[in-house]
A and B are shown apart, each in its own frame.
Chain A
């Protein structure tokens, strides 16, 4: 225990860093995933932008990239991360790679949740003269908002997990903290401290997501 106390500032620093990495990844990945998911939904045959070629292309891209295990994805995407962020290691590169991975994951969640919206509701919006973009923004997303919030909560949890893995290969945050001060120093108490902070973080966000979703779903 006495080994942990001097490390408290580092623990806080690591927690802050995890939140920073996960927060930005959720923002960028969430936006990308939302767009990709909306793209998948709207280009599906019979939907408002039905387009077989575009849907097929998006579908294949998502199918190829989504199942790649994150640690491999991290290595494989490094050249791209370097090209975009100017560096192959460090938080910026990690945020880039996490965002990309999250976007593919979120896209399917978004697509599935949008598919639960009754087609008749979209038809009602069309029948009053609403255009496609307006339907997406004012009908489709609000109608699916409850499950979308839960989906994003799920992805937050997954991102915390993935960011810890990234800590292993040079990213900062709680994963890095646990490895550097706990695992490498043979100090399980420090490792466990990182685990507990992660658990608390995940619990807090899950609770927030549940409360928000319940509010939106009015139950």
Chain B
């Protein structure tokens, strides 16, 4: 059974102004997230990503549909029960949302106090968590005395305090510079691998998905338009909005204006070869072209690596007899994806 399961979930907000239609922030979404996954949710601003995660820990109540977390119904349960549910779900935020009147120590201790743990338990757990996020020496500092990356590490320690099964990360790295982003992403990876916590990451940055997630859902206007293994979605995005996101990190097939520029600089026929691991290797393609006496030049593209699996698009300019090129490409077509650019 999936750890988090959404069935036909809808969330509507009353309109900002009277007389306007309802805002359908989440529109009939079904989604399963298995234990141990790092599930990425990507989409443009206003797509409904934050609303979707806030439904999971019931910070928002669904308008219709069913949400089940760890075998427990989240929709239509009394507040008291929701609060116990939330002990099982940690959350971190873009703006960190640390308690500015409390020290780092007391920020991390807060969920434990809410959960009614004893002093000794709190003492031991906070020490352990600050060690885990590498901030043992900052225990008595206040949030404003920390850098952005340190603040988010405190946020992570606080979210993990009650040993939740699930961590929700809403744009957790969007306010950080690239280097700090990677530091926080590495920490989240450890949270997943060492502690076995299932993570739901929301982002509008594709490289966050690329470095962290195992599964991804692409959201657009309150709907999930595509979901699957990160590798599959990256190497072969089907929907237009997925393709736009993928193109921000994958140097794939040249856009029309880029193609025009390529034509000006290179002779011959322009052909894109798309590789996915498991397909024939690049070496065999190059050998075959050479053996047929076709002259080739690499003009565009790149190879990407997602958790040890490679894929990519290489665009070559081929010169030689047309009939030979046609035959060779035809011969390869069954093993890799070949596309001649008109």
Contact = CB atoms under 8 A, between A and B. Distances in A.
Interface of A: 118, 120-121, 123-131, 134, 138-139, 142-143, 145, 216, 218
Given A128-B110, A128-B111, A129-B83, A142 B93 contact: no
A139 B107 CA distance: 11
Contacts of B102: 142
Contacts of B93: 120, 123-124
The residue in A128, A131, A142 that gathers the most chain B C-beta atoms within 10 A of its C-beta is: A128
B300 interface: no
Given A123-B59, A124-B91, A129-B86, A134 B97 contact: no
B101 A145 contact: yes
Given A121-B100, A143-B101, A126 B95 contact: no
Contact of B161 (A128, A130, A134, A138): A128
Nearest to A121: B97
B142 interface: yes
A120 B85 CA distance: 20
Nearest to B101: A142
B286 interface: no
Given A120-B93, A131-B83, A145-B101, A125 B110 contact: yes
Given A128-B110, A129-B86, 13 more contacts: A120-B93, A120-B95, A120-B97, A121-B100, A126-B59, A127-B86, A127-B91, A128-B161, A130-B83, A131-B79, A142-B102, A218-B142, A218-B144
A217 to B, nearest CB: 9
B99 A121 contact: yes
B162 interface: yes
Contact of B99 (A129, A134, A143): A143
**7 interchain residue pairs of minimum CB distance:** A128-B111, A129-B86, A124-B97, A120-B97, A142-B101, A129-B83, A127-B91
A131 B95 CA distance: 22
A131 B59 CA distance: 12
A138 B106 CA distance: 11
A124 B159 CA distance: 9
A128 B98 CA distance: 12
B57 interface: yes
Interface residues of B, number: 31
Contacts of A131: 79, 83
A138 B111 CA distance: 12
B158 interface: yes
A128 B87 contact: yes
A198 B275 CA distance: 85
A92 B98 CA distance: 45
B114 A134 contact: yes
Contacts of B290: none
B84 interface: yes
Contacts of A143: 99-101
Given A120-B93, A134-B114, A127 B101 contact: no
B294 to A, nearest CB: 59
B333 interface: no
A202 to B, nearest CB: 28
B22 interface: no
B115 interface: yes
A166 to B, nearest CB: 36
Interface in B76-96: 79, 82-87, 89-91, 93, 95
19 contacts: A118-B97, A120-B93, A121-B100, A124-B93, A124-B97, A124-B98, A126-B59, A127-B159, A129-B82, A129-B84, A129-B86, A129-B87, A129-B111, A129-B114, A130-B110, A142-B99, A142-B102, A145-B101, A218-B144
A121 B144 CA distance: 14
Contacts of B162: 128-129
A62 to B, nearest CB: 25
A48 B142 CA distance: 26
B163 to A, nearest CB: 12
Nearest to B94: A120
Contacts of A126: 59, 86
The residue in B91, B99, B101, B159 that gathers the most chain A C-beta atoms within 10 A of its C-beta is: B101
B86 A118 contact: no
A216 B79 CA distance: 33
A81 B246 CA distance: 72
Nearest to A141: B101
Contacts of A130: 83, 110, 114
Contacts of A142: 99, 101-102
Nearest to A146: B101
A152 to B, nearest CB: 17
A139 B85 CA distance: 21
A128 B99 contact: no
A139 B59 contact: no
B310 to A, nearest CB: 38
